[in-house]
Amino acid sequence: MAFAEHEVLIRRDAMAVYLYLLDATNLPLWRDGVRRVKLVDGSEGAKGAVYRQMVAGRSGLSIPADLEITSARPGAEIQFQVTSGPAIRSGGYYLSTETAGTRVRFALEAQPEGPLGFLNRLGFLSTMLQRSLCAEAAQLERLKDVLELQPAI
């Protein structure tokens, strides 16, 4: 299993950050590789909501990947799992209020699987997966930039 996390301090209140993250249609604004997102099942931003992401594939074509919200605690935590697509992952955003704003931790984990599992026994797949997760988690820096450039509500 591969695991990565990254955290930033965003100069916005926790509810503003939480609501922005809860709206999965905002993902293309700060996540590389996510081209489009739309709600396909459930209530927007609620536990059980399923969003279809169109993500960039290796060939440059868009590939569908379904993301489901598995837990949502207002102002504090959002957990999700990617249930289909090129990379099956789970993770969450964990928020805590500080004097200067909101500390956000983005954690991701994934299990190498599929027909290339033999490469994992050699350590090759695990290394690639670990690098990919670290790069994804580090995109939290872009979220900080996007939110801090928006006017406060």
Question: In the predicted model, is pLDDT for residue 76 greater than 80?
Answer: yes
Which segments within 13-142 are labelled E, that is strand?
34-41, 50-56, 62-73, 77-82, 89-98, 101-110
What integer pLDDT is reported at residue 38 of this predicted model? 96
**Judging by beta carbons within 10 Å of its beta carbon (0-12, 13-18, 19+), is residue 49 exposed, middle or buried?**
buried
Distance CA 107, CA 133 (A): 9
Q: How many CB atoms lie within 10 A of CB 124?
A: 13
Distance CA 93, CA 21 (A): 8
What integer pLDDT is reported at residue 108 of this predicted model? 94
What integer pLDDT is reported at residue 114 of this predicted model? 54
Coil, strand or helix at 122: coil
Beta partners for residue 107, in sequence order: 5, 92
What integer pLDDT is reported at residue 1 of this predicted model? 79
Question: In the predicted model, is pLDDT for residue 45 greater than 70?
Answer: yes
Distance CA 17, CA 19 (A): 6
What integer pLDDT is reported at residue 86 of this predicted model? 76
- List pLDDT tens digits, range 1-42: 789 999 999 999 999 999 999 999 999 999 998 999 999 999
Task: Name the pLDDT band for 88 (thresholds 50, 70, 90).
Answer: confident
Coil, strand or helix at 46: coil
- List pLDDT tens digits, range 90-139: 999 999 999 999 999 999 998 766 545 545 555 555 788 888 889 999 99
